[in-house]
Amino acid sequence: MARILFLQPQQYAYPGLYYICGALKKTSHAYRVLATNRPDNVSKGIREFKPDVVGFPCLTGLHREILQIADQIKQEFPTCKILLGGIHPTLCPDIINHPSVDFICRGEGEQPTCELLDALDCQAESFAIPNITWKSAGVVHSNEMRPLADPLDSLPFPDYGIYRDCPPIANDTYPMVFMTRGCPFSCSYCHNSNQRKIYQGKGRYVRSFSPARILDEVENVISNYPNARAVFLGADTLGTDMAWLTELLTSYRARFTLPYTCLVRPEFVTEELAALLGRTNCHMIAFGIESGSERVRRELLHRKYSDAQIDLAARTLKKHGIKFRTYNIIGLPSETPEEMLATLELNLRIKPDFPWCSIFTPYPETKLAEFAVANGNLDSTFSYDDVPLSFFNGTVLKNVERDFILNLHAFFQLLVYCPWLYPVVKPLLKRRHNRLFGYVFKAVYAYSCIRSERRGLISFLRLALANRKLFK
């Protein structure tokens, strides 16, 4: 029996771990999840659990801290194997060259992780496991990608109890259940296009769980998160398959009293969809405006819906009593201050219940990052190691109006909630950014999260304090 300790520096749930641990639960291998970045807690956890493998769910931007922790582990526990999985090693497999990394898993990790532990249990010296890249004596060995899991119901049932020993997560009031995998769109700022290329010829990229499976998962997640006030039904977008969605949400309403939230694109908001949400206890729907400039949406973001479609989506949702959140990005390459203000002004016009705004964060090998390089906003040497930890704290672009971007971001949510402040705040947007403006953002962001995600104040503060690096 092999033993794996999943270690995450951040104290929020990684839904992918639910499924990997669910697969491991059907084997004889032992697993545990530890959410900490304190060196003493890491060492204590390894000494107590005695894992053969320490696995990290690895996101771009967070990978630097993960590699530092991996170095610490290798120094103290040199025989312990290090495995990285998640989106970062999937898109940046060169991370296997880091001295402390023994294995990476690219793409879906349920079966590869189980098979890797099987091989280690048998003391194998080579690993011909699809999706696994491994290293021996400095030599890297890459295996092919396996077909995508299809149908998704064939995956083992997830283990939603893995965070029971981490109070900030276990007491969460807004847990997530995934309904689909894969996104049908190719926005220029997103990794989705590159991920689709990795899986070319490996099966259907966009897949859905059956309504029955999703509802069983919701029941399980509610039992493991007793403080839940709403459930986030995770999918990149809804509305492309109304028959499936109608069966799911109608059955959800019959089975649960807990409200739910989900994502949609504005062009998919129809009378039929809004009416369905209205009669099935939807707490909130969220959609991306991204930019209030049609030029920016069309030419830069590859999101081709019009202002008229956004206006119609907002009116339709309000007509059916559905609260909604808008996602917005400012500080894009070639975006003018006037276009950024157009994003704010579009939000002022449609009056979202829960506005949300981020500062553009480029990711290497995406179309928009390539444009930023060509436009003189990024050096040609820009790499994954240059990606910032958070899209709230600043801009990495050159030759942009940095203070204006940071100031508009700081006041964006406040101005949507209190539009009467716009004439007062607008002159401040050209001032030098300062710490006070940052505090305004943090206070209003906390208020918006508590309201939109139905989080209790204590639950939010626990999560915020545990992950405060993201908001420095």
Cα separation, 190 vs 185, in Å, equals 9
Q: Check if the beta carbon of residue 60 is closer than 8 Å to that of residue 190.
A: no
Give residue 428's Cα distance to chain centre: 32
Q: Check if the beta carbon of residue 214 is closer than 8 Å to that of residue 179.
A: yes
DSSP states along 30-67 = EEEEEE---HHHHHHHHHHH--SEEEEE--TTTHHHHH
> Which residues neighbour 137 within 8 Å (Cβ) at sequence distance 6 or greater?
none
Is there a cis peptide before residue 151, judged by omega within 30 degrees of 0?
yes
Q: So where are the chain's domains? A: 3-142, 171-471
**Which of 255, 259, 263 lies closest to 178 in space, CA to CA?**
263
Rg of the chain on CA atoms, in Å: 23
Over its length of 472 residues, how does the chain's per-residue pLDDT go in tens digits?
899 999 999 888 999 999 999 999 999 999 999 999 899 999 999 999 999 999 999 999 999 999 999 999 999 999 999 999 999 999 999 999 999 999 999 999 999 999 999 999 999 888 999 999 999 988 999 999 999 999 999 999 999 999 999 888 998 889 999 999 998 888 888 888 888 889 999 999 999 999 999 999 999 999 999 999 999 999 887 878 899 999 999 999 999 999 999 999 999 999 999 999 999 999 999 999 999 999 999 999 999 999 999 999 999 999 999 999 999 999 999 999 999 999 999 999 999 999 999 999 999 999 999 999 999 999 999 999 999 888 888 999 999 999 999 999 999 999 999 999 999 999 999 999 999 999 999 999 988 888 887 776 666 666 566 555 555 5
Cα separation, 349 vs 325, in Å, equals 14
226-228-232 Cα angle (round to 5): 135
CATH 3.40.50.280 is the classification of domain 3-142: yes
Tell the residue number behind the tokens 């993201």, with chain if given: 470
Q: Which two tokens stand for residue 199?
A: 């899986």
> Which residues neighbour 249 within 8 Å (Cβ) at sequence distance 6 or greater?
260, 276, 277, 280, 282
Cα separation, 149 vs 204, in Å, equals 9
**Which of 84, 199, 79, 197 lies closest to 134 in space, CA to CA?**
84
Q: Check if the beta carbon of residue 268 is closer than 8 Å to that of residue 235.
A: no
Residues paired with residue 85 on neighbouring β-strands, in sequence order: 57, 105
Largest CA-CA distance found in the chain, in angstroms, rounded: 69
Please identify, in words, the CATH class of the domain defined by 171-471: alpha beta
Cα separation, 297 vs 305, in Å, equals 8
